[in-house]
Amino acid sequence: MYIPVILIGILYFLLDLILYLTKYQFTEEFFFDPLQNIMLFPFSILFALFGNYFYHLHTKKYIDKVNLLPFNVEQKKTWLKNKGGTSWLGVMFTALFLILYGFISAYLLPTNVDQVLKIKDGSFYDCPTVTIGDGFDVFFDEPHWEYISSASVFDIVRFSGIAERGGEPLEVTIDFIIKAVFV
């Protein structure tokens, strides 16, 4: 059943494309992202409800085909055994397809963890009890956080706000550079 596997992969890719085009940022909990799970839940239910039905249709197609062949009962059983059963080639194909899908999705449609929250919820070494976001909100007027995408191995989160210096407003911009670490 290679075609259904490919169609499911295309469906997941289209969902990733929708998330990418809407500039969605995943939560830091990679295995539980609320929006992604809400989008995939109906499909999971449909696959669970109709998976056996689709397999039944698949096998019925081969049974109908063998009944049209001029074979005796034993030859038909042998033909069906050769066409059916499990296949290591199928397992390898599916595993390779899933790995290839993962790489294509990750590199063509990178949907990052929300890097802004990663910085805002972090803290400086000298003040580990105060988050950067809370400290900047107290010190700066009109705080604005922005994720800047980069073509390098770095993610950049830009903060801008207004601080007073000598009684005069001063526009401040700070770039936080996050280096991607592959373990």
Q: Give the model's pLDDT for residue 181.
A: 53
Is the confidence at residue 112, as pLDDT, over 70?
no
Q: What percent of the chain has pLDDT over 70?
A: 87
- Give the span between the Cα atoms of 93 and 99, in whole angstroms: 10
Q: Give the model's pLDDT for residue 142.
A: 92
Total residues belonging to the chain? 183
Helices (H), the chain: 2-21, 34-68, 73-83, 88-108, 115-120, 132-139
**Nearest one of 179, 140, 182 to 161, comparing CA atoms:** 140
Q: Give the model's pLDDT for residue 151.
A: 60
Q: Give the model's pLDDT for residue 27.
A: 61
How crowded is residue 140: how many other Cβ atoms within 10 Å of its Cβ? Answer: 19
Is the confidence at residue 183, as pLDDT, over 50?
no
* 56 or 154, which is more confident: 56
- Give the span between the Cα atoms of 33 and 52, in whole angstroms: 28
Q: Give the model's pLDDT for residue 2.
A: 80
- Work out the mean pLDDT of the chain and round it to a whole number: 82
> Which range in 21-25, 60-64, 102-106, 158-162 is most confidently predicted, on average pLDDT?
158-162
Q: Give the model's pLDDT for residue 29.
A: 55
Is the confidence at residue 158, as pLDDT, over 60?
yes
Per-residue pLDDT of 69-104, as tens digits, reads 888 888 888 888 887 777 788 889 888 988 888 787
Per-residue pLDDT of 24-67, as tens digits, reads 766 655 556 677 778 888 888 988 899 899 888 988 888 888 88
- Give the span between the Cα atoms of 53 and 39, in whole angstroms: 23
